[in-house]
Amino acid sequence: MATMLGQSDPANSPLGLMLLDEITPVVMVLRTPLVEEACLKNGLNLVELLTPFSTFNNIDVPVRTASDQPYRLQKFKLRLFYASDIRQPNLEVAKEQLKEVITHAGEKDFSDLCSDPPQIEDVLSTPESEILPSWFQFFNKELVRSLSFSDHEAFDHPVACLLVVSTKDERPLNRFVDLFNTNQLPFLLNDGVMDPKILKHYLLVHDNQDGSSEKAEKILTEMRSTFGSNDCRLLCINSSQDGLVEHEDNPWAPYKTDASLSQPLGCFLNIDDFNEIKDLMQDFSSKHIIPHMEQKIRVLNQQVSVTRKGFRNQIKNLWWRKGKEDTPDASNGPMYTFSSIESQIRVLGDYAFMLRDYELALSNYRLLSTDYKLDKAWKRCAGVQEMMGLTYFLLDQSRKEAEYCMENAFNTYLKIGSSGQQNATRCGLWWIEMLKTRDQYKEAASVYFRISGEEPLHSAVMLEQASYCYLFSKPPMLHKYGFHLVLSGDHYKKCDQIKHAIRTYRRALSVYKGTMWSYIKDHVHFHIGKWYAFLGMFDVAVPHMLEVLTCGHQSKTTQDLFLREFLQIVQNTGKKFEVLKLQLPAINIPSVKVIFEDNRTYASPAAASVRESMWQSLEEDMIPSLPTIRTNWLESLPKNISKKHKQSNICVTGEAIKVDVEFKNPLQITISISSVSLICELSASSEEMDCDANSSTSELQNDEESGKLTISREQTSNSSFTLSEADFSLGGGERIMVQLTVTPRIEGILKVVGVRWNLSDSVVGFHNFESNLVKKKIAKGRRKAKHSPSDNLKFLVIKSLPKLEGSIHHLPEKVYAGDLRRLVLELRNQSEYPVKNMKMKISSPRFLNVGSWEILNTEFPACLEKKTDPEQRVQANHNKESHTVFLFPEDTLIQGGTPFLWPLWLRAAVPGNIPLYITIYYEMGDISNIMRYRTLRMYHNLQVLPSLDLSFQISPCPSRLKEFLVRMDAVNKTSSEIFQIHQLSSVGRQWKISLLQPVETMLPSELMPGQALSRFFKLENVRKLTTPEDKVSLLAPQEGSDVKLGSEASNEILFDICSSPLADFHICERIHQEGSHQEHPNSVDFILISQPSNDSINTGLPNPPPHLFSHHVCHCRIESTSPIWWLMEGPRTIHHNFSASFCEVKLKMTLYNSSDLSASIFIHTLDSIPSTSQLSEVMAGSPGNQAGWYDTSLLNDIKVTSDVLGMKVGKPPSLDSVSQFIWSGSSSTKVEVEPMSTAVVPLQICVFSPGTYDLSNYALHWNLLSSKDEGSHGKCPGSPYYLTVLQSA
SS3 per-residue string spanning 855-897: HHHCCCCHHHECCCCHHHCCECCCCHHHHCCEECCCCCCECCC
- So what's the pLDDT on residue 315? 61
Q: In degrees, to the nearest 5, what angle opens at C-alpha 502 toward C-alphas 498 and 505?
A: 135
Instruction: For residue range 960-1011, list pLDDT tens digits in order.
Output: 777 888 989 999 999 888 888 888 999 887 888 888 777 666 666 788 898 9
Q: Quick: pLDDT tens for 857-897.
A: 888 888 888 877 666 555 656 544 445 789 999 888 888 88
Report the alpha-carbon distance of residue 368 to residue 264 in Å, rounded. Answer: 49
As a whole number of angstroms, the distance between CA 566 and CA 554 comes to 16
pLDDT at site 322:
53
pLDDT given at position 720: 86
The reported pLDDT for the residue numbered 43 is 85
Longest Cα–Cα distance of the chain, Å, equals 197
| Stretch among 616-620, 715-719, 1056-1060, 1133-1137 having the lowest mean pLDDT | 715-719
- Per-residue confidence band for 1224, with pLDDT thresholds at 50, 70 and 90: confident
Confidence of residue 711 (pLDDT cuts 50, 70, 90): very low
Residue range 1162-1176: mean pLDDT, rounded = 60
- pLDDT for residue 970: 92
Q: How confident is the model at residue 514, as a pLDDT?
A: 81
Res. 927: pLDDT tops 50: yes
pLDDT at 1139: 85
pLDDT at 1193 over 50: no
The answer on pLDDT for 413 being more than 60 is yes
Mean pLDDT of the chain, nearest integer: 79
Per-residue pLDDT at 599 exceeds 70: yes
Per-residue pLDDT tens for 512-547?
A: 888 888 888 889 889 989 998 888 888 888 888 888
39-58 residue pLDDT tens: 988 888 899 999 999 999 88
Q: What is the pLDDT of residue 316?
A: 56
Q: Is the pLDDT of residue 1104 over 80?
A: no
CA 924 from centroid of its chain's CA atoms = 48
CA distances in angstroms from 73 to 155, 291, 979, listed in the order given: 18, 12, 120
**What whole-number distance in Å separates Cα of residue 371 and Cα of residue 340?**
12
pLDDT greater than 50 at residue 722: yes
Question: pLDDT value at position 921?
Answer: 93
Locate the DSSP E strands across 291-407. Answer: none
Asked if residue 140 has pLDDT above 90, the reply is no
Top-confidence residue, 688 or 1256:
1256
Q: Residue 707 pLDDT > 70, yes or no?
A: no
Question: pLDDT value at position 487?
Answer: 92
> Picking from 217-231, 267-281, 757-771, which range would have the lowest pLDDT averaged per residue?
757-771
Q: What is the percent of the chain where pLDDT is above 90?
A: 22
Which range in 776-780, 1031-1035, 1109-1113, 1169-1173 is most confidently predicted, on average pLDDT? Answer: 1109-1113
| Rounded alpha-carbon distances, angstroms, from residue 944 to 43, 108, 1008, 1101, 1164 | 102, 78, 19, 15, 56
pTM value? Answer: 0.65
Residue 199 scores a pLDDT above 70: yes
- Residue 1209: pLDDT band with limits 50, 70, 90: very low
Read off the pLDDT of each residue in 1266-1285 and give the average, rounded to a whole number.
Answer: 78
Name every residue whose Cβ is closer than 8 Å to that of residue 530 and which is 6 or more positions away in sequence: 541, 545, 565, 569
Instruction: Specify the 3-state DSSP secondary structure of 382.
Output: helix
Residue 907 has pLDDT above 90, yes or no: yes
Confidence check: pLDDT of 13 > 70: yes
pLDDT at res. 1031: 46
Query: For residues 975 and 943, is the Cβ–Cβ distance under 8 A?
Result: no
Is 222:190 a contact under the CB 8 Å cutoff?
no
Question: pLDDT tens-digit profile of 354-364?
Answer: 999 999 999 99
Over range 703-709, report the average pLDDT: 32
pLDDT tops 80 at residue 820? yes
Q: What is the pLDDT of residue 1255?
A: 86
Please report which confidence band the pLDDT of residue 1042 belongs to, taking 50, 70 and 90 as the band edges: confident
**Where would I find the beta strands (DSSP E) of 32-148?**
55-56, 61-63, 71-73, 76-77, 79-82
3-state secondary structure of 491: helix
Mean pLDDT over 1269-1273 rounds to 67
Say if CB 204 and CB 219 are below 8 A apart.
yes
Q: Please state, as a whole number, how many other Cβ atoms lie within 10 Å of the Cβ of residue 1103.
A: 6
Q: Is the pLDDT of residue 784 over 80?
A: no
C-alpha distances out from residue 898 to 292, 893, 934, 935, Å = 123, 10, 19, 19
pLDDT at 455: 85
pLDDT at residue 320, as a whole number: 53
pLDDT digits (tens, 9 = 90+) for 390-412: 999 999 878 889 999 999 999 99
In this prediction, residues 1014-1039 reach a mean pLDDT of 64
pLDDT 10s digits, 1237-1246: 888 888 889 9
Taking the mean position of all CA atoms in its chain, how far away is CA 1190? 69
Given pLDDT bands bounded at 50, 70 and 90, which one contains residue 775? Answer: low
pLDDT at 872: 57
Residue scoring higher pLDDT (351 or 1094): 351
Do residues 1045 and 997 make contact, with C-beta atoms less than 8 angstroms apart? no
Would you say residue 783 has pLDDT above 80?
A: no
**691 vs 848, which has greater pLDDT?**
848
| pLDDT at residue 1075 tops 80 | no
Least confident range of 101-105, 605-609, 707-711, 897-901: 707-711
Average pLDDT over residues 280-302: 91
